[in-house]
Amino acid sequence: MTGEDAISTERMESLAAVLSWIRTHPHVTQPLLTQHLGLKRSVVAARVAELEAAGLVVAAGMGPSTGGRAPRRIRLRTEAGVIVGVGIGATGMQVGLADLSGRIFADHAAPVDVADGPDVVLERVEQVVEDLLSAHAAGREVWAVGVGVPGPVEFSSGLPVAPPIMPGWDRYPIRERLAQRWSAPTWVDNDVNLLALGELRANPAATTEDDLLYIKIGTGIGAGLVSGGRLHRGKNGCAGDIGHVAIAEAENVICRCGNAGCLEAVAGGAALAREGRRLAESGASSLLAQILAANGTVTVADLITVAERGDAPAHALLARAGRLVGTTLATLVSFYNPGLVVLGGGVVRAGDYVLAAVREAVYRRSLPLATRTLRIEPSALGRTGELTGAVHLALEEVFEPSRLARWLSTGTPAGRPELASGDRAGSAA
């Protein structure tokens, strides 16, 4: 039996619990750990000593005394390693570096066309990461990598599977490529799952919600589901793909996935831009016609701008998209009964018209009990949501108890890309 095998499940679970509490509560003391975790003082002391020996936690001064000797404060040694987060979208990417607490200390956003294919896009990602590491983390080990992409991902393998807007990416080995590049365990997930995870971990309004839905309305439409405080991916990793739910209003419209009638085909960002151009070309909107003549194109941002200037056709188009998304979402709210719905993506960030229409449709069409305490809010993280989620995905997977047992004796997961194999498909802590 190896040293790793000798670590009992019970011991690792208590060790992981202590480490998790230290990670999320800076400068905690051992008495507080004992109080909040319900473990014996001797167990907490032993686990803290193990974590100190592994170089994961260090003393951080003294805490307040309650009558006896002042207790030591303990903190995670956040500087011990670097987490790489990557968010790849349809038309842009955001790459960042974080410490072991999840604090992003360096990031870079750049335009990118996912349709250029994996080699072009990932080569660009790799160069940006290398530049960030050289400038902000020279000499520090990469402990783990988290990646988000705008398409379905089989989480257990990290492979994109027939992604509608990602030509050339089907079953491309993203995980293996990036794991080899930085010799670090790497996890890949759908972008909306990471947006949901980012909100759950970094949005104060969401951290107390065990049941949450994140709805992204951007170039495409998707949902991330949190149930019982855990990200729910489904059996194969494609839970929440509401953009390709069939709706009657899109019956004769062909979607980019090849099917007809998808929600995304009439309410996504690409559909809104297409319909905005139609309003301009037909003369229904003189303001959009002016924009088209000047720029040669019409964007969702243009629609928002002219709607705010009182353009009725643009306002009606945005409200219709919000109503269609809201009607579909109402079904999910009645079925799933979340406490919080977070709306994000470029279409929502651009203005309040879609957000208001979504809210109205949900409250009108959902069961009264399902909406009694429901909150529907815009994302608090904005453009950094996917990057934040990618970082927390990597952190939570690398510190997962059974995986922690495989690298604790060496004090680092760096140089161990094989740690990402055998993932727990369907959920994330």
Q: Where do the domains of the chain lie?
A: 3-76, 81-197+384-397+408-428, 208-380
pLDDT attached to residue 6: 43
Does the predicted TM-score (pTM) go above 0.85?
Answer: yes
Question: Class for domain 3-76, per CATH?
Answer: mainly alpha
pLDDT attached to residue 1: 42
Enclosing H/E stretch for 167: none
Specify whether the CB–CB gap between 248 and 267 falls below 8 A.
no
The reply to whether 208-380 shares the fold of 3-76 is: no
pLDDT attached to residue 10: 82
CA atoms within 13 A on the CB side of 271: 26
Which residues are registered as beta bridge partners of 74?
Answer: 28, 59
pLDDT attached to residue 11: 85
Q: Look-up: residue for tokens 């001064």? A: 61
Token digits of residue 56: 């994961």
Mean pLDDT by 10 residues, the chain (429 residues): 57 90 88 90 92 92 71 91 96 96 96 96 98 96 97 94 92 97 97 95 87 92 93 88 89 87 92 95 95 94 91 93 95 93 86 87 93 93 93 96 91 95 49
Which residues are registered as beta bridge partners of 107?
Answer: 96
Is CATH 3.30.420.40 correct for 208-380? Answer: yes
Torsion angle (degrees, nearest 10) of CA 153, 158, 162, 163: 50
CA distance 118 to 219: 19
Token digits of residue 173: 């080995």
pLDDT attached to residue 3: 46
Q: Look-up: residue for tokens 């030509």? A: 167
pLDDT attached to residue 429: 39
SS3 content of the chain, % helix, strand, coil (to 5): 50, 20, 35
CA distance 105 to 156: 29
CA distance 382 to 373: 24
Measured CA angle at 76 (ends 75, 79), to 5 deg: 120
Is CATH 3.30.420.40 correct for 81-197+384-397+408-428? Answer: yes
- Closest by CA to 190, choosing from 229, 159, 167, is 159
Would the CA dihedral through 131, 136, 138, 139 be positive or negative? negative
Token digits of residue 42: 């001797």
Which residues are registered as beta bridge partners of 402?
Answer: none
- Closest by CA to 363, choosing from 389, 401, 329, is 329
Q: Burial level of 115, CB count in 10 A (0-12/13-18/19+)?
A: middle
Specify whether the CB–CB gap between 84 and 60 falls below 8 A.
no
Q: What is the CA radius of gyration of the chain?
A: 23
Kindly report the average pLDDT of the chain as a whole number: 91
Q: Look-up: residue for tokens 């079953």? A: 171
- Closest by CA to 389, choosing from 195, 226, 208, 118, is 195
CA distance 419 to 429: 16
